[in-house]
Amino acid sequence: MTTSSTIPVIAIDGPTASGKGTVAQLVAAQLNFHYLDSGALYRLTALSAIRHGIALDDEQALAQLAENLDCSFTGGEIFLGTESVTLAIRAEEVGNTASKIAALPALRHALVGLQLRFRRLPGLIADGRDMGTVIFPDACLKVFLTASAEARAQRRYKQLIDKGFSANIEDLLKDLNERDARDANRAIAPLKPAEGAYFLDTSDLTVQQAVEKVLGWYATVKQAV
């Protein structure tokens, strides 16, 4: 019998712009697994809050927004209602707002069910901050993916410029450090390596090398179960 706990999950957690999204999507494509970009859910809630003018400390209103998030992920695009917000949620303002509201327990709680529903056969690869520690503690493989702050600022810079946003490396580095501190020091579900996580520092790795590492670890843990 298939119960959700028998559906394999690979959890990839790490700081912002560490490359975990890129690696996770490529691993998902190789394994034909579903993919959960949990950060997108916090970004969608943030975008919606900004648009509705909701105060960033109004925990109940924000939790309600998250609970009723009308979002869908189709063909690589992310929708809020019928509007594609794939690009809009990548703006720095939205990422910073997401990091702020992600510290609110009621909001995190409101997003749990939505995240669990991504666990479908043949398997799921989920990336975020608390995938291995809180949302999928029974994941068969947990990876903590990092890169130096400088490497991450460079990557974020390139991502933003490629998407047509303007960006400045010094400002990005400052924002990254602030966001890391906020994500790692919050009281609830802080960014930290899960017990038993494999560490992957991608500062000096190509995307393909990082993907191969994860696939290699997955092949090992799969054999063991």
Residue numbers at the binding site for ligand DC (CB under 6 A): 16, 38-39, 42-43, 95, 98-99, 102, 128-130, 179, 183
**Nearest CA-CA partner of 38 in 5, 8, 69, 60:** 69
When the beta carbons of 3 and 112 are compared against ligand DC, the nearer one is 112
Tell the smallest beta-carbon distance from residue 37 to ligand DC (Å).
7
Give, in order, the Cα–Cα distances in Å from 168 to each of 164, 171, 172. Answer: 13, 5, 6
Q: Contact 46/94 with Cβ under 8 angstroms?
A: yes
Tell the smallest beta-carbon distance from residue 135 to ligand DC (Å).
7
When the beta carbons of 2 and 181 are compared against ligand DC, the nearer one is 181
When the beta carbons of 8 and 39 are compared against ligand DC, the nearer one is 39
Torsion sign (Cα): 108, 110, 113, 117: negative
Tell the smallest beta-carbon distance from residue 159 to ligand DC (Å).
11
Q: Contact 33/125 with Cβ under 8 angstroms?
A: yes
Tokens of 12: 């990839």
Tell the smallest beta-carbon distance from residue 45 to ligand DC (Å).
9
Tell the smallest beta-carbon distance from residue 64 to ligand DC (Å).
18
Bridge partners, residue 201, by sequence: 146
Q: What does the DSSP assignment read for 180-215?
A: HHHHHH-SSS-S-PPTTPEEEE-TT--HHHHHHHHH
Amino acid at residue number 154: Q
When the beta carbons of 16 and 202 are compared against ligand DC, the nearer one is 16
When the beta carbons of 1 and 193 are compared against ligand DC, the nearer one is 193
**Nearest CA-CA partner of 72 in 62, 82, 61, 87:** 82
